[in-house]
Amino acid sequence: MVPVHLGLGTNLGDRPANLRAAVGALADFAIVEAISGVWETAPLYVTDQPAFLNMALRVTTALAPMDLLCRIKTVESELGRVESIRFGPRLIDIDILTYGDVMMDDDRLTLPHPRLGERRFALAPLAEIAAGLRHPVAGHTVAAMLAALPDIGDIRPLGPL
Q: b/e per residue, 114-126, with b = 16+ CB within 10 A?
A: eebbebbbbbbbb
pLDDT digits over 110-144, tens only? 999 999 998 999 999 999 999 999 998 888 999 99
Q: Report how far residue 37's alpha carbon sits from residue 35's, in angstroms, rounded to the nearest whole number.
A: 7
Q: Report how far residue 144's alpha carbon sits from residue 133's, in angstroms, rounded to the nearest whole number.
A: 10
CA-closest candidate to residue 117, choices 93, 94, 135, 96: 135
pLDDT above 90 covers a percentage of the chain that reads 83
pLDDT digits over 28-70, tens only? 999 999 999 999 999 888 888 999 999 999 999 999 999 999 9
In sequence order, the 6+-apart residues with CB closer than 8 A to the CB of 47 are none
Kindly calculate the radius of gyration of the chain based on its CA atoms and give it in whole angstroms: 14
Yes or no: say if 123 and 98 are a contact pair by the CB < 8 Å rule. Answer: no
CATH numbers and ranges of domains, the chain: 2-159 (3.30.70.560)
Which residues are the active-site residues? 81, 90, 93, 95
Query: Helix 65-78 and helix 15-26: axis angle, to 10°?
Result: 140
Q: Does the reported pTM lie above 0.85?
A: yes
